[in-house]
Amino acid sequence: MKRWIYGLLGVGVLVFAGVLIQRALSDSLVYFILPSEYAADPGDYQDRRIRLGGIVSPGTVAFDDTELRLAFEVTDSLETYPVRHFGTPPELFQENTGVVIEGRFEDGVFVSDNLLVKHSEVYEAPKDGEPVDIEALKDTLQ
């Protein structure tokens, strides 16, 4: 009899822990996507924290060294989105490098609080007219 009670108590604790875990998990999953994946379904990522990968578009980088605000555009050569980041650019940040930024979209602008530079040694940007290998880009940035 006692064993049953403790067994039930144990199951109860496990269920409670399970609920806590499930809730916390669904709240804090951060998807890693490319701009074209966002464009395909912006509603999916409404008010969600995401990690956005892509290449820094040439000629779009602007850094305000008084307010420490960095602006640039990120692209996977299918879609391009403007990015606002608070803070100094990392040392290896430059045009045409791969980046992963973490934050969320606000009115079509990606507001980032974490910027990582990825050296994509394997991935080469396609020449004009060639199709983009999105999967390869994603794998190198991940």
Residue type for position 11: V
Six-digit token pair at 52? 């956005």
Site map (CB under 8 A) of other proteins, residues 34-73, x = contact: ---------------x-x-------------xx-x-----
Q: Select from 7, 8, 24, 41 the one that contacts other proteins (CB under 8 A).
A: 24
* DSSP-assigned beta bridge partners for residue 117: 99
Six-digit token pair at 57? 């578009």
Q: Smallest distance from the beta carbon of 102 to other proteins, in angstroms?
A: 9
Helix (H) or strand (E) holding 35: helix 35-40
State how beta strands 98-106 and 80-86 pair.
unpaired
State how beta strands 69-75 and 50-56 pair.
antiparallel
Tokens 């969320």 correspond to 104
Q: Select from 20, 94, 95, 96 the one that contacts other proteins (CB under 8 A).
A: 20
| Spatial distance between the Cα atoms of 16 and 51, rounded to a whole number of angstroms | 30
| Spatial distance between the Cα atoms of 61 and 77, rounded to a whole number of angstroms | 16
- Among the candidate windows 7-15, 54-62, 76-84, 124-132, which touches other proteins by CB under 8 A? 7-15
Q: Smallest distance from the beta carbon of 99 to other proteins, in angstroms?
A: 16
Site map (CB under 8 A) of other proteins, residues 113-142, x = contact: -------------------------x---x
Residues in touch with other proteins (CB under 8 A): 2-3, 6, 9-10, 13-14, 17, 20-21, 23-25, 27-33, 49, 51, 65-66, 68, 86-88, 91, 138, 142
